[in-house]
Amino acid sequence: MKILVTGCSGLLGSKLTPLLARRGYNVVGIYNVHRPSYSADGVKLVKLDITNTVALEDLVLKEKPDVIIHAAAYTDVDGCERDKNRAWRINVEATKSLVRTARVVKSYIIYISTDYIFDGSKGDYIEGDTPCPINYYGLTKLIGEELVRGSDLLHTIVRPSAIYGLGGSKKSFAEYIVEKLMRNECVKALTDQYVSPTYNGLLAKAIAEIVELRPMGVLHIAGPRMNRYEFALKIAKALDLPLELVKEASMKEMTHWIACRPRDSSLDTSKAKQLLKTRFYDVDLAVDLFKKEWLSRRGEPCP
Ligand SMILES: NC(=O)c1ccc[n+]([C@@H]2O[C@H](COP(=O)([O-])OP(=O)(O)OC[C@H]3O[C@@H](n4cnc5c(N)ncnc54)[C@H](OP(=O)(O)O)[C@@H]3O)[C@@H](O)[C@H]2O)c1
């Protein structure tokens, strides 16, 4: 079976792409600026800017993948607010092209969406709750969802929240916390923004299960609800780092933010828990895996 993964160089894609290859799939991974450094036998890497929709459509028509996992996005929330044209071309137009060509070659599509399609006024959102994005990133991702949902394709829409882990070209919040604390620097973390931190390794495993099961519709795949301060403490504790350097902050101090952020975009994951074997919701397992990965990257023995 052939799987096309967009965003194979991102925080999620850098875990998902080699995992699918290890499971014996024939994988084509699209990156744009950052060529992945993971060793991935069985992965054909293609450098392609997905805003070049002619090239993107040509590739899909040539490769004829059985499955498309669309994980590429312009994920910089403030960047999307600043450059709406870029956000639209990457998050909406490229999705439109993928849907169009997936219909021609009859692929099953997994669209990676986000908790930011919700306004954050409620929290613990279930799949059927009404989306109401409060920033441009969330709006473009919701339109992407609607393009997929409105097609006649066999599809699954996966919504994670606050992805963390190692891999990709950007530092995730967890990596930033660890690096600052290791330098004995303070980290400010929000006590009034609630998310469902999702470890990229477990998210990738859950998506690999979805490839096999092909459930139609929306699935929330995320960790448990917590504020960013609680999450920072969890990471610090797991890695034996000084907890007193984690300082409380509130959203109103974030004066440099351009885009509004939801106050509580946490996700209810009951539906996916019933369907999947992967323990994507188990924060202790996730943090332990993150810790082992961090130590092995530094060449330290894992306890
Ligand atoms: N990160 C989070 O906290 C979070 C939370 C909820 C949902 N999500 C969703 O999860 C998915 C994966 O996110 P992530 O954190 O892995 O993202 P990420 O680390 O920011 O990576 C983005 C990926 O998209 C690719 N990309 C961006 N613009 C492109 C273009 N013009 N042409 C081709 N590829 C392009 C990047 O390729 P290059 O780096 O090579 O340019 C990279 O592989 C996204 O759909 C995102 O909306 C993320």
pLDDT of residue 302: 53
* Domain boundaries of the chain, sorted by first residue: 2-166+198-224+267-281, 173-193+226-265+284-297
Q: Is 140 within 8 Å of 94 (Cβ atoms)? A: no
The tokens describing 236, both together, are 């610090």
d(CA 17, CA 7): 9
What the block records as the tokens of 77 is 């929330």
Best residue among 32, 159, 218 to mutate for probing ligand 1, ranked by most atoms within 8 Å of CB: 32
User: Would the CB of 49 count as within 6 Å of ligand 1?
Assistant: yes
CA atoms within 13 A on the CB side of 188: 7
pLDDT (0 to 100) of residue 24? 95
Identify the residue whose C-alpha is closest to ligand 1 atom 20: 75
**Gap from CA of 68 to ligand 1 centroid (Å):** 15
Residue 32 has, within 13 A of its CA and on its CB side, a CA count of 14
Q: How far apart are the first and last CA of the chain?
A: 38
Q: How many CA atoms lie within 13 A of 82 on its CB side?
A: 9
Residue 137 bears catalytic tag: yes
**Is the CB of residue 13 below 6 angstroms from any atom belonging to ligand 1?**
yes
Report which of 198, 196, 206 is spatially closest to residue 124, judged by C-alpha positions.
196
pLDDT tens-digit series, residues 216-244: 999 999 999 999 999 999 999 999 999 99
Q: Which atom of ligand 1 lies nearest, measured to the CA of 50?
A: 32
Q: Residue of the nearest CA to atom 36 in ligand 1?
A: 7
CA distance 130 to 53: 30
Asked whether 167 lines ligand 1 (CB < 6 A), one says no
Strands 108-112 and 163-164: unpaired
What's the whole-model pTM score? 0.97
Q: What does the block give as tokens for 175?
A: 């990596």
Q: Pairing between strand 198-199 and 163-164?
A: parallel
- Could you say which of 3.90.25.10, 3.10.20.740, 3.40.50.410, 3.40.50.880 is the CATH number of the domain covering 173-193+226-265+284-297? 3.90.25.10
**Catalytic residue, candidates 137, 164, 194, 229:** 137
> Of all atoms in ligand 1, which is nearest to the CA of residue 163?
3
Q: Which of 5, 8, 11, 98 to mutate to test the pocket of ligand 1 (most atoms within 8 A of CB)?
A: 11
For residue 164, the ligand 1 atom closest to its alpha carbon is 3
C-alpha dist (Å) from residue 126 to 6, 60, 134, 251: 26, 33, 18, 24
Q: Ligand 1: does its nearest atom lie under 6 Å from the Cβ of 222?
A: no
243 Cα to the center of ligand 1, angstroms = 31
Q: What is the pLDDT of residue 303?
A: 53
- Determine the atom of ligand 1 nearest the C-alpha atom of 36: 40
**Which residue has its alpha carbon closest to ligand 1 atom 26?**
72
Pick the CATH number of 2-166+198-224+267-281 from 3.40.50.720, 3.40.50.1370, 3.40.718.10, 2.60.40.10: 3.40.50.720
- For the Cβ of 59 lying below 6 angstroms from any atom of ligand 1, the answer is no
- Say which residues have a Cβ less than 8 Å from residue 106's Cβ, sequence separation at least 6: none
The SS3 of residue 272 is helix
Where are any strands of DSSP class E within the chain?
Answer: 2-6, 26-31, 43-47, 67-70, 108-112, 155-159, 163-164, 187-190, 194-195, 198-199, 217-220, 226-227, 246-249
Does ligand 1 lie within 6 Å of residue 51's CB atom?
yes
* Paired tokens of 283: 């924060």
pLDDT tens, residue order, the chain (303 aa): 999 999 999 999 999 999 999 999 999 999 999 999 887 778 999 999 999 999 999 999 999 999 999 999 999 999 999 999 999 999 999 999 999 999 999 999 999 999 999 999 999 999 999 999 999 999 999 999 999 999 999 999 999 999 999 998 889 999 999 999 999 999 999 999 999 999 999 999 999 999 999 999 999 999 999 999 999 999 999 999 999 999 999 999 999 999 999 999 999 999 999 999 999 999 999 999 999 999 988 776 555
